[in-house]
Structure 1
Amino acid sequence: MTGRSISTMAINTPICNYGWNAPEFELPDTTGRYWTLDKLRGVNGLLLMFICNHCPYVKAIIDRICRDALRLQQMGFGVAAIMSNDIDAYPEDSLSNMETLSQSLGFSFPYLYDETQNVARDYGAVCTPDFFGFNKQLHLQYRGRLDSSGRAPAAPDVRRELVDAMRLIAATGNGPAEQVASMGCSIKWRC
């Protein structure tokens, strides 16, 4: 087994660092258009998701990510996904495969490519999926999970934790005091 095999060990995100400011970036999407925080943010804030194509945790919830992204956009949040993995080691995560996935699922949000992995480092992203929910001042208020799904989707009627948290952020500017960490595969860093 090589060091580049898919890890089956789940990684959990750290607890939310409330009020932490979103670091600036400029990243291309799958069409070559560049995005910044100012271009992405909505009137109520921003959700950034670190995802990838190959991770079984992402695959288990990608349809829910698409559903909930639409709901959050309707609530006045900007939404974007960022892929930061080493594509040489994980070719399923390549830019062309990112484009295929975003088109086949009809992403309503840009799917950004972090080739240098600097954005993942700046944000402290640790796994896929890793959710960062910011209020309108772009202060971090949520670092939890989408819902109780793991490597397999949870029941269809499970509580939508991310949507509930972002609804609270829209109403009050603050995220929930209790947050359950997201779980997934580690970011695939270049050696």
Structure 2
Amino acid sequence: MAVSTPIADIGWPAEPFRLQSVDGQYYSLQQLAGPRGTLVIFMCNHCPYVKAVLPRILREARELSKHGVNTIAINSNDDEAYPEDGFEQMKRLSAENAFPFQYLHDDTQDVARAYDAVCTPDFYGFDADLRLQYRGRLDASRKELAPEDEPRELFDAMRLIAHYGYGPAEQNPSIGCSIKWRESAVSPVLLQAAYSQPSL
């Protein structure tokens, strides 16, 4: 199911977490937060929206680190129903693409619920105080890449946050595959989504 993110709750404080990364270590939000901003991405391995933009996500993460912004990726998908999103596959994807950030496994789906994450990819841009300033899209890409000359919306927003502490007034929602919830962990936000959209 394809869904889009809601309007950003500007100023919302990031929920703390401690999750295992693909390097086998456990990390907290505070350990991974950047000095001038933090980008949290809910993503997974199998989603065609993520696959389409993954090279750009990696590019933006590398360049944002020069501005004091750290990136954190979290996979919350039900890996029993979607084995491609399992922990071993996460480790392989991270290694093959030389991820410049920690790729964390939210195996209980508690973090996705705490953040009201709805899709992959779902981008949360926090300021230096871990207050939400951006919840929008990477750029105009969907399951196909947008042209290279399209605005780099996420990058520009996070650079603005890093240097001035606030994001853009206009934020376009991200769109992607719905988070793959276990039956006992359906997101309240997802329940409000339009089920008429095609499944993926």
Q: What's the TM-score bracket when you normalise by the shorter of the two chains?
A: over 0.9
* The one of 134, 144, 148 aligned to 1:142: 134
Q: Deviations over 1:63-109 (max 9, x none)?
A: 00000000111110111100000000000101010011001110000
TM-score normalised by the chain length of structure 2? 0.90
Matched, 1:117 2:109: yes
For residue 89 of structure 1, give the secondary structure of its aligned residue in structure 2.
Answer: coil
1:161 matches 2:144? no
- For the residues of structure 2 that align with 1:124 and 1:74, how far apart are their CA atoms? 29
* TM-score, normalised relative to structure 1: 0.94
Letter in 2 for 1:179: Q
Give the ranges of 4+ consecutive aligned residues of structure 1 lying more than 4 Å apart after TM superposition: none
Counterpart of 2:165 (choices 173, 176, 183) is 173
**Length, aligned pairs only:** 183
**Cα offset for 1:38?**
1.2
Counterpart of 1:86 in structure 2 is 78
For the residues of structure 2 that align with 1:159 and 1:104, how far apart are their CA atoms? 28
Stretches of structure 1 lacking an aligned partner (at least 5 in a row): 1-8
Aligned counterparts of 1:167 and 1:177: Cα–Cα separation in 2: 14
Unaligned runs of 5+ residues in structure 2 are 184-200
Equivalent in the alignment of 2:28: 36
CA shift digits 1:19-75 (9 cap, x unpaired): 000001000101211111111111101000000000000000000000000011111
CA RMSD of aligned residues (A): 0.7
Q: Deviations over 1:97-138 (max 9, x none)?
A: 001100111000000000000000000100000000000000
> How far is the alpha carbon of 1:157 from its aligned partner?
2.1
* Further displaced range: 59-68 or 150-159: 150-159
Residue 6 of structure 1 corresponds to none
Residue in 2 aligned with 1:77? 69
In 1, Cα distance between equivalents of 2:148 and 2:164: 28
Q: Which amino acid aligns with 1:49?
A: I
For 2:45 and 2:150, the matched residues in 1 are separated by 24
More displaced stretch, 15-24 vs 31-40: 31-40
User: Distance between the aligned counterparts of 1:38 and 1:125, measured in 2?
Assistant: 20
2:55 is matched by which residue type in structure 1? D
